Amino acid sequence: MQEAVASAYSRDSSAEEIARAVDLTGKLAVITGGAAGLGLETARALALAGADIFIAGRRPQVVAAAAQKLSETGQIVHSAVLDLMSVESVDAFADAVLALERPVDMLIANAGIMACPLQRTAKGIESQFMTNVVGHAVLLSRLARALAQSDDGRFVSLSSTAHHMSPVHFDDIQFERRPYEKWSAYGQSKTGNVLLAVKAAKALGPKGVSCFALHPGMIRTELSRSLDDSDLTQFSSTTAEGQPVADLFKDVPRGASTSVWAATSPALRGKGPLYLEDNKVAELLTKPARYHGVSAYALDPESADRLWTEIETIVERELPL
């Protein structure tokens, strides 16, 4: 795992710069959380490269405005409301994508929530795990056949270096027996995002689908809306190497670049599972680090299989790939 792949890009490359190197005419990109922040910039860059776009978001007015903005690229733009806390909403969105009766060339699981106060679904599923992991797993299952119909299908799962904060605690995923801690919950969900790519690669790789997880970088977007002053103090500190944490932040165009690289790079065709950062394959670590690399537990195939089984139990149905 984590085999090196040649890349002409760096952490300072923009999404648009990377998209300019490819022709995506006739391709379809499906992007959750595509109405704002990194998702919107990812969609814009892919559209400028010729892709048709299907974006999803929670707020109808925001989704409609984003679709209108993206249509200025001249590409076909579809949009729909999607609430990843609801399996019924995921199914409705998947139905809308499948109704197009065309391959899905890129499925980018971009949407997410971070470090929220404890919330649960009606069935008791913690909100970060439900939104970031379970909802995307259901969508991946529903669109798996359409991905396999592409001649270069890509599944891209946005994770974070926050996965170093926690593996998936299979003995108590929903914080029923341990105190809820919002960063541990977020870290667990981001490990789950990597494991989704591992599971997808095992099932869909033989069908021609390349599968990746990635850390987009530290970017100030709406994702941080739940943070308070005590959370923000960490950004004035330094890394273990003495680098100011503030220096690690990217703007949105650079933050979206690794998603575009994962979704389009010819060098990544047929690869995966791989965890990417800064438009390259990340270092595989033997112990967690806070700001770079991927922990081995996030790439463990047995954990990926176990996670998928847990998700099927949560949604009370099989999720074929």
Cα separation, 213 vs 230, in Å, equals: 29
CA dihedral 222, 64, 189, 216 (to 10 degrees): -60
- Non-local CB neighbours of 230 within 8 Å, separated by 6+ positions: none
- Catalytic residue of the set 9, 180, 186, 291: 186
Cα separation, 79 vs 101, in Å, equals: 16
Catalytic: 180?
no
Cα separation, 70 vs 43, in Å, equals: 8
Helix, strand, coil distribution of the chain in percent, nearest 5? 45, 15, 40
Distances (CA, A) of 162 to 115, 139, 159: 10, 23, 8
Distances (CA, A) of 230 to 235, 236, 248, 291: 10, 11, 19, 19
Q: How many helices (H) and strands (E) does the chain have?
A: 11, 12
Residues serving a catalytic function are: 186
